[in-house]
Structure 1
């Protein structure tokens, strides 16, 4: 077990967080954006907002040397394909599945295809707003040690923040949220974009960010995985095959998706202390 370093928790209004080992971790959790806030956001992006947009929600981590990394719903939406081609991506990539789905409910399906990526798929992996010595994330081969993170350790701070959600005109769901946990040894962030298009596909884009206290770097891993809907459905045990509730269980689906393809994996590192401190 790690010795628990000194820390200070804070909570004011919609913000809460913790200061520990030279880091300040802050979450802001509020209600769904109101009409005035939505109108302001729509001036910045070219696509319609998801049904549930939590524009004021935010996760920010910063350290004493000036590093600032944020996870923002607006920045995530700015990375959604806003072109007409984006609206056809799922239809083209899964043409056979789409034809079958469309045949079942043609009138409803044509309503969901919009002149942008209506699945709200985003490869967003955070916004770097402050650095030390002008450093940026650089490619790396060092993976996050997930086995180390499985070890039992006290959690001194935890939070989960919703960023946006949409039911895709009753054709599935698209969800983006972010979780953080702080342990005596460091902190771990998981931002997850989850997509289910009924009868067509499942997709999961995960951004994992980890810092071990005492090291001079922050690790980031982005993975993108997807699979045909029916292949995941086939994973339901035979004795439960009529029970499709598991297809709404994101944790269960996570265990059934295949590993990411080569272009669906990104590993990076960011130096978070000045060279003079190394």
Structure 2
């Protein structure tokens, strides 16, 4: 089977692909320097994560005007900046928090700040361009995961970190985004991963899929979490004290419970309607 017409490109920090009327561009650069951090800090009222890749982004544009972007700055703007935000993990997991605090009080007191210091974000992309002012609407059409499992040529692939923080040596908060383009369509996975040692794991996933020649972009957002020790209990006994699997994001993801009740399923019309109603 012949591959669809496409053109890959790379210029400096940007690379991407043009295919089926879409231009997909990834920008990957080092973490921001102090001058740029100072400028961004004026927009963001909370301390930036230790590693903030403010210039990294994923952008998808089509010939009809659709523009969806994944931006670390926009993601950070959705972190809870209230004093209550800083207490959420402490309150929701009070018993585990007390144990953790008792073990490591000197470190943990530095972590409690008047904002959500876990940098949890429900960000699912920024829609900057639309067709006839259409926005993402609720849908019952799920992304066909089985179709995505089929073996296809990968015409373009890239992944990048948007931000990362080690939570004062008490775990990790990581936001990254990946895209793969196949002859049949493209798939994006943005994932926020949180591990607070001895307390909890949390994972917020945004999946975006488009099958070429169809009129919609599909998006699904899910949020899952579980107690740290419940995930730790899945480590095989023969590994003894080796808990390195707890840093394997894919492995942790496979052990987290599914949360269908919190699933948000949406779709976006990406072409002009041929017979719009008046």
Q: Which TM-score bucket, shorter chain as reference?
A: over 0.9
- Residues 1:86 and 2:85 are matched in the alignment: yes
C-alpha distance in 2 between matches for 1:52 and 1:107: 23
The equivalent of 1:266 in structure 2 is: 264
3-state SS of paired residue (1:222): strand
Q: Is the 8 A contact 1:3 1:184 kept in 2?
A: no
- Residues 1:29 and 2:28 are matched in the alignment: yes
The equivalent of 1:189 in structure 2 is: 188
Superposed counterparts of 1:1-278, under 5 Å: 3-260=2-259, 262=261, 264-276=262-274
TM-score, normalization by structure 1? 0.98
Provide structure 2 residue ranges, at least 5 long, that are not aligned to the other structure.
none
C-alpha distance in 1 between matches for 2:62 and 2:137: 19
C-alpha distance in 1 between matches for 2:39 and 2:218: 34
Q: CA deviation at 1:3?
A: 4.1
Q: CA deviation at 1:45?
A: 1.2
Q: Is the 8 A contact 1:29 1:56 kept in 2?
A: yes
3-state SS of paired residue (1:204): strand
Alpha-carbon deviations, 1:138-175, whole Å to 9, x = none?
00011100010000000000000110000000000000
Per the alignment, do residues 277 and 72 of structure 1 end up closer, same or farther by CA in structure 2, a change over 3 Å counting? farther
Q: Is the 8 A contact 1:225 1:261 kept in 2?
A: no
Name segments (4+ residues, structure 1) moved above 2 Å: none
3-state SS of paired residue (1:275): coil
Query: Mean alpha-carbon deviation: is it higher for 103-112 or for 117-126?
Result: 103-112
Provide structure 1 residue ranges, at least 5 long, that are not aligned to the other structure.
none
3-state SS of paired residue (2:234): coil
C-alpha distance in 2 between matches for 1:37 and 1:215: 40
Q: CA deviation at 1:108?
A: 1.1
C-alpha distance in 2 between matches for 1:144 and 1:28: 26
